[in-house]
Structure 1
């Protein structure tokens, strides 16, 4: 996890599923931050199931309620397919690259 211009960048690798959900939930917790902004670098994510989708939706809602936002960066083709099928891309801003996700 790093920060760039007040934006927290969470870099993920491997699978996002039931077994890794608690770690991701903890990494996305923005409790106490004013106007929290988080970019999730998904370039190395190989799989995401419904657990991951639910975590992303919950994080998006919490960040939005706190006046911040969540963006997804560089999801692999198979992960982007899941994101698109479920409709997450209509809810959460998805960008092709980390650089794009960090810019307004």
Structure 2
């Protein structure tokens, strides 16, 4: 059911680091993110989200291990959401922790991008 492709040369756990593990589940690209999303790690996230050159790309970003996200991350997700939508696909955010979800809600991203409480819910089509 799942095909695993590991990416992300930067290890999480150190301050200012972001790791990305990329897997596929039923044709949906799953990005499991760990660490901090900010202006220092934005390029790592941007590269991982760049799949809108494939037909009808569907992406779920699992934020369960993200410890911090600033406006850089918000902007990257909004840009990816628009690009994926224009390509006939979609982006969903899943399992955000309390502090990350507070940031997402505060700026209203949850009204623009589909946010789900769990990765399982985000992988359900419909």
* TM-score between both structures, scaled by the size of structure 2: 0.81
**Counterpart in the other structure of 2:9:** none
Q: 1 CA distance for matches of 2:102 and 2:78?
A: 16
The alpha carbon displacement at 1:32 in A equals 2.2
**Runs of 4+ displaced beyond 3 Å:** none
Higher helix share: 1
2:71 to 30, 50, 68: 50
Shift of 1:30: 1.1
Q: 1:24 aligns with which of 45, 48, 61?
A: 45
Identify the structure with bigger relative contact order (alpha carbons < 8 Å, sequence gap 6+).
Answer: 1
Summarize deviations over 1:24-50 as a string: whole Å, max 9, x none.
Answer: 000000142000000000000011001
In structure 1, runs of 5+ residues without a counterpart are none
Secondary structure at the residue paired with 2:43? helix
Match of 2:36? 15
2:71 and 2:58 mapped to 1: Cα distance?
Answer: 23
- Residue segments in structure 2 that go unaligned for 5+ positions in a row: 1-21
Over the aligned positions, Cα root-mean-square deviation in angstroms equals 0.6
Superposition pairs of residues 58-77 of structure 1, within 5 angstroms? 58-77=79-98
Superposed CA deviations along residues 48-92 of structure 1, whole A, max 9, x for unmatched, are: 001000000000000000000000010001100000000000000
In the superposition, the TM-score normalised over structure 1's length comes to: 0.98
